[in-house]
C-alpha cells in the first residue's frame, strides 16, 4: 500500500507546469471521492462534470485517466491534478482508507464464494434487471456462446447503428465516445462467436461489421480516435476468425485485394494482406499476387493499386516489380526517380541507380521544381566518383533555376571541392546582381550571399546600390561595427526609431539590443555623452512602459 508515488512533485512531472498550475484552481471542484485499494475516483466539475481516476500502484508508477477532451488524448490533465492534490490533503488517512477498501473487497469475494448457484443466479438476475447495459452485454454473450448467429448479427447491427446517438443524422463529439464503446461490444461478440466454435460465422459477422462501421464513420465526430481503435480491434477479430476457420484461400485472397483497393471505402480499418500469409499458403498468396497485378495493370496510377503492388513486391524482394510500379507513374519533380535509385542502391545495382537519377534530372522540365533531394543524391554520387566537374555543373544549373542562398552555398561547396570557385563565384554574383536590380526577389539574395562569403565591403556597396531589408542592414551593421562605427551607428539609430513607437515585450527586447549596439558605437567614437542624452530622452518619453524601463535598468541604462 505504498503511497509514496503520489506527491506534488510527481503530479507536476506527469501534468507539466501548465496543467499543474491550472489544477491548483480546481481543488474546490472535486466531489464524490471514492478510495479503493489501488485506485481513487472522483467527479471534477469543469466545463461539465468529468469522471477522474488515479491509479496508485501502476507498474509504471502513478497514472490516471479523465474523460475530459484533453484527458481522452492520453494526457495527465488539470482535473487529475486537482484530485491528486485533494487526496494529498488527507494523506495521513489514505493508508487506512486503502486498507479498509481492500478488506471490503476481500469480504465481498468471500461472500460471493459462499453463495450457492441459485443465490448467485438470483443476484445476477437482480443486477441485470436494474442495469440495462449489463443486461445487453450479457444477452450478446449468451447469443455468441450458444451459437445464435442470427441473433448475434442482429445485435451487431443494432450496436453499430448511429441512430440512438445522432442528432440530425450526425454523432457529435460529446456522444462519440459512448457510440465507440457500444461499437466495441460488437467486436467482443464477434470474438466470442469465433471462440465458441463458430469461426466461419464470425468471419461473415466481422465483414458485415466492417461495412456498417464504414457507413457510420463519416457521420461520427471521431476526434479522439475511438472508432479507429474499434476498427483495429475488428481487423484483429477477423484475422483470428480466419486463423480458426481456415476459409477458402481463393475467396480470402479476393476479399483481401478488394479491401486493400478500397471496395468498402472505409479509410478506417487497415488490413495488411501479408498478415494472412500463413492462412493463404502458397496457392493463396499466388492468387493474391495475380489479383493485385491484374488490378494494378488496369489502373497503374491508382493510389491503392500502387500501394498494394509495392507492398507485395517489397515483401517478396522483387526489386524489378517495385521499379515497374514507380516507373508507371513518374513524378515531374524527379521524386519517383529518386525512389527508384534508392531501391536499386539497396539491391547493389549502383550503376542503374545512377542512370535513373540522371534521367530524373533530364526529365524534369524546370529545375526550379525539382526534388532537391534528387540533386543532392546525384551530386553526392558524382563526388564519390571524382566527377567533380559534373557536380559543379549540376549545382550551377540548380542555382540558376532557383537563385537562393542555399543553392549559392551548395554551388560554392561543389566549386571549392573542384578548385574553381573564383570563376564560378563571379558568374553567380553577376546573376544575383541582375536579379537584385530587377527586384524579382524581395529577399535580395545578393546581399545574403556576399555576407555569407564574408565580403563585407562588397555587401555594403551592393546594399547601398540596390537596397537591403532591415534584417540585412542589421547584419551589415553588426559586421561593420568594429571598423566602421559611424556607419553602423546610423543604421542602428534608424532601426531603433520606429520601435520606440511600438509596445510589447518582444519589441522592448529588440529595442534594448539595438541600444546596446548604439552604446558600443558611441564608445568607439568617443561620444558617450550623446548616448547618455539619448537614453535620458527615451526614459522621459516612455517612462510608463515599465517592462522597457526594467530591461534598460538591467543593462545599466
pTM for the full predicted model: 0.69
Task: Classify residue 457: in a domain, yes or no.
Answer: no
CA–CA distance, 260 with 111 (Å, rounded to integer):
53
Range of the domain at 60: 8-114
Question: In whole angstroms, how large is the CA radius of gyration of the chain?
Answer: 35
Q: Cα dihedral sign for 377, 378, 383, 386?
A: positive
CA–CA distance, 148 with 142 (Å, rounded to integer):
8
Please, which contacts does 122-125 make with residues 24 or more away whose CB atoms are closer than 8 Å? none
Question: Is 5 exposed, middle or buried, given 0-12, 13-18 or 19+ CB atoms closer than 10 A?
Answer: middle
Q: Into how many domains does the chain fold?
A: 2
The distance of Cα 239 from the centroid of its chain, to the nearest Å, equals 28
Q: Cα dihedral sign for 455, 460, 461, 462?
A: positive
Task: Classify residue 133: in a domain, yes or no.
Answer: no
Q: For 497-549, give the DSSP string.
A: HHHTT--SHHHHHHHHHHHHHHHHHHHHHT-HHHHHHHHHHHHHHSTT-HHHH
Helix (H, G, I), strand (E, B) or coil at 557: coil
Full pLDDT tens readout for the chain, 557 residues: 345 578 888 999 999 988 999 999 898 899 988 888 888 999 999 888 899 999 887 777 888 989 888 887 788 999 999 999 999 988 888 888 888 888 888 888 899 899 899 888 888 888 878 877 777 777 777 776 676 778 888 888 988 999 888 888 899 988 888 898 889 888 988 988 888 888 999 999 999 999 999 889 889 998 878 888 899 999 999 999 999 999 999 999 999 999 999 866 556 788 999 999 999 999 999 999 999 999 999 999 999 999 999 999 999 999 999 999 999 999 999 999 999 999 999 999 999 999 999 999 999 888 999 999 999 999 999 999 999 999 999 999 999 999 999 999 999 999 999 999 999 999 999 999 988 887 655 458 999 999 999 999 999 999 988 888 999 999 999 999 999 999 999 999 999 999 999 999 999 999 999 999 999 999 999 999 999 999 999 999 998 999 999 999 999 98
Question: What pLDDT score was predicted for residue 1?
Answer: 39
CA–CA distance, 64 with 71 (Å, rounded to integer):
9
Task: Classify residue 461: in a domain, yes or no.
Answer: no
Question: What pLDDT score was predicted for residue 440?
Answer: 53
Task: Classify residue 67: in a domain, yes or no.
Answer: yes
Please, which contacts does 100-105 make with residues 24 or more away whose CB atoms are closer than 8 Å? 101/35, 101/36, 101/37, 102/1, 102/37, 105/36, 105/37
Residue 62 vs residues 1, 11, 37, 196, 474: alpha-carbon distances, Å: 13, 8, 14, 38, 52
> Which of 114, 142, 164 corresponds to the end of one domain?
114
Cβ contact 379:391 at 8 Å: yes
Buried b / exposed e over 255-284, threshold 16 CB at 10 Å, is: bbbebbbeebebebbebebbebeebbeeeb
User: What residues contact residue 479 under an 8 Å CB cut-off, 6+ apart?
Assistant: 451, 456
Let me know the angle formed at the C-alpha of 190 by 185 and 195, rounded to the nearest 5 degrees. Answer: 125
CA–CA distance, 293 with 471 (Å, rounded to integer):
56
Task: Classify residue 221: in a domain, yes or no.
Answer: no
> Which of 114, 144, 163 corresponds to the end of one domain?
114
Task: Classify residue 106: in a domain, yes or no.
Answer: yes
Question: What pLDDT score was predicted for residue 147?
Answer: 67
Cβ contact 191:229 at 8 Å: no
Q: For 101-148, give the DSSP string.
A: HHHHHHHHHHHHHHS-HHHHHHHHHHHHHH-HHHHHHHHHHHHHHTT-
Question: What pLDDT score was predicted for residue 135?
Answer: 76
Continuous H helices in 34-77:
69-72
Grid cell 529595442 — which residue? 511
Q: What is the dihedral of CA 192, 198, 203, 207, to 10 degrees?
A: -60
Question: Is 541 exposed, middle or buried, given 0-12, 13-18 or 19+ CB atoms closer than 10 A?
Answer: exposed
Residue 337 vs residues 274, 296, 331, 358, 359: alpha-carbon distances, Å: 27, 19, 8, 9, 7
Task: Provide the grid cell at 40.
Answer: 481513487
User: What residues contact residue 20 under an 8 Å CB cut-off, 6+ apart?
Assistant: 11, 12, 78, 81
Task: Classify residue 537: in a domain, yes or no.
Answer: yes
Please, which contacts does 499-503 make with residues 24 or more away whose CB atoms are closer than 8 Å? 500/538, 500/541, 500/542, 503/545
> Which of 114, 148, 169 corresponds to the end of one domain?
114
The β-bridge partners of 203 are none
Question: What pLDDT score was predicted for residue 442?
Answer: 45
Q: H or E stretch including 282? A: helix 277-298
Helix (H, G, I), strand (E, B) or coil at 274: helix
The β-bridge partners of 54 are 40, 64
Question: What pLDDT score was predicted for residue 4?
Answer: 57
Residue 315: phi and psi, rounded to 5, are -65, -30
Please, which contacts does 507-514 make with residues 24 or more away whose CB atoms are closer than 8 Å? 508/545, 508/547, 508/548, 508/551, 509/551, 511/548, 512/548, 512/551, 512/552, 512/555, 512/557
Cβ contact 144:192 at 8 Å: yes
Buried b / exposed e over 472-490, threshold 16 CB at 10 Å, is: bbbbbbebbbeebbeebbe
Q: For 315-379, give the DSSP string.
A: HTT-HHHHHHHHHTT--TTSHHHHHHHHHHHHTT-HHHHHHHHHHHHHH-S-GGGS-HHHHHHHH
Task: Classify residue 47: in a domain, yes or no.
Answer: yes
User: What residues contact residue 503 under an 8 Å CB cut-off, 6+ apart?
Assistant: 545
Grid cell 487529475 — which residue? 80
Task: Provide the grid cell at 152.
Answer: 448475434
Amino acid at each position: 500500500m505504498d503511497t509514496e508515488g503520489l506527491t506534488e512533485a510527481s503530479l507536476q512531472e506527469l501534468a507539466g507546469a501548465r496543467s499543474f498550475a491550472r489544477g491548483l484552481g480546481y481543488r474546490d471542484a472535486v466531489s464524490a471521492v471514492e478510495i479503493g485499494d489501488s485506485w481513487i475516483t472522483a467527479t471534477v466539475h469543469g466545463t461539465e462534470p468529468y469522471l477522474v481516476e488515479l491509479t496508485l500502484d501502476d507498474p509504471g508508477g502513478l497514472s490516471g485517466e479523465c474523460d475530459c477532451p484533453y484527458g481522452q488524448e492520453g494526457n495527465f490533465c488539470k482535473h487529475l491534478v486537482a484530485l491528486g492534490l485533494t487526496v494529498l490533503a488527507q494523506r495521513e488517512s489514505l493508508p487506512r482508507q486503502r486498507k479498509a477498501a481492500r478488506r471490503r473487497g476481500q469480504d465481498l469475494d468471500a461472500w460471493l464464494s459462499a453463495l450457492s448457484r441459485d443465490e448467485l443466479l438470483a443476484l445476477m438476475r437482480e443486477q441485470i434487471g436494474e442495469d440495462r447495459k449489463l443486461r445487453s452485454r450479457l444477452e450478446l454473450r449468451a447469443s455468441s456462446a450458444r451459437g445464435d448467429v442470427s441473433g448475434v448479427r442482429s445485435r451487431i447491427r443494432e450496436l453499430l447503428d448511429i441512430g440512438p446517438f445522432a442528432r440530425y443524422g450526425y454523432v457529435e463529439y460529446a456522444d462519440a465516445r459512448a457510440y465507440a464503446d457500444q461499437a466495441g461490444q460488437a467486436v467482443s461478440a464477434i470474438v466470442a462467436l469465433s471462440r465458441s466454435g463458430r469461426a466461419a460465422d464470425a468471419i461473415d459477422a466481422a465483414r458485415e461489421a466492417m461495412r456498417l462501421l464504414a457507413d457510420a464513420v463519416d457521420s461520427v465526430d471521431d476526434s479522439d480516435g475511438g472508432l479507429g481503435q474499434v476498427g483495429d480491434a475488428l481487423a484483429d477479430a477477423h484475422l483470428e476468425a480466419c486463423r480458426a476457420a481456415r476459409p477458402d484461400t481463393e475467396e480470402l485472397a479476393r476479399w483481401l485485394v478488394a479491401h486493400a483497393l478500397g471496395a468498402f471505402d472505409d479509410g478506417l480499418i487497415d488490413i495488411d494482406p501479408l498478415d494472412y500469409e500463413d492462412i493463404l499458403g502458397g496457392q493463396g498468396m499466388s492468387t493474391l499476387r495475380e489479383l493485385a497485378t491484374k488490378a494494378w495493370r488496369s489502373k497503374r496510377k491508382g493510389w491503392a493499386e500502387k500501394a498494394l503492388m509495392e507492398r507485395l513486391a517489397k515483401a517478396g524482394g522483387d526489386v524489378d516489380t517495385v521499379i515497374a510500379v514507380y516507373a508507371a507513374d513518374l513524378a515531374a519533380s524527379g521524386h519517383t526517380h529518386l525512389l527508384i535509385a534508392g531501391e536499386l542502391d539497396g539491391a547493389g545495382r549502383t550503376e542503374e541507380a545512377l542512370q535513373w537519377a540522371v534521367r530524373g534530372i533530364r526529365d524534369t522540365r524546370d529545375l526550379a521544381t525539382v526534388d532537391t533531394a534528387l540533386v543532392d543524391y546525384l551530386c553526392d554520387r558524382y563526388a564519390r566518383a571524382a566527377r567533380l566537374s559534373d557536380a559543379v555543373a549540376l549545382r550551377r544549373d540548380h542555382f540558376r533555376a532557383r537563385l537562393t542562398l542555399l543553392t549559392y552555398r551548395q554551388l560554392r561547396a561543389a566549386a571549392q571541392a573542384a578548385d574553381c570557385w573564383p570563376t564560378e563565384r563571379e558568374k553567380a554574383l553577376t546573376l544575383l546582381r541582375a536579379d537584385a536590380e530587377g527586384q524579382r526577389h524581395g529577399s535580395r539574395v545578393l546581399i545574403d550571399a556576399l555576407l555569407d562569403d564574408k565580403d563585407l565591403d562588397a555587401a555594403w556597396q551592393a546594399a547601398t546600390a540596390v537596397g537591403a531589408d532591415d534584417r540585412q542592414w542589421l547584419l551589415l551593421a553588426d559586421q561593420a561595427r568594429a571598423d566602421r562605427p559611424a556607419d553602423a551607428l546610423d543604421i542602428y539609430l534608424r532601426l531603433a526609431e520606429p520601435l520606440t513607437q511600438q509596445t510589447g515585450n518582444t519589441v522592448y527586447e529588440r529595442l534594448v539590443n539595438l541600444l546596446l549596439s548604439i552604446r558600443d558605437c558611441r564608445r568607439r567614437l568617443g561620444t558617450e555623452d550623446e548616448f547618455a542624452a539619448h537614453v535620458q530622452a527615451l526614459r522621459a518619453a516612455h517612462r510608463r512602459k515599465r517592462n522597457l524601463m526594467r530591461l534598460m535598468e538591467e543593462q545599466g541604462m
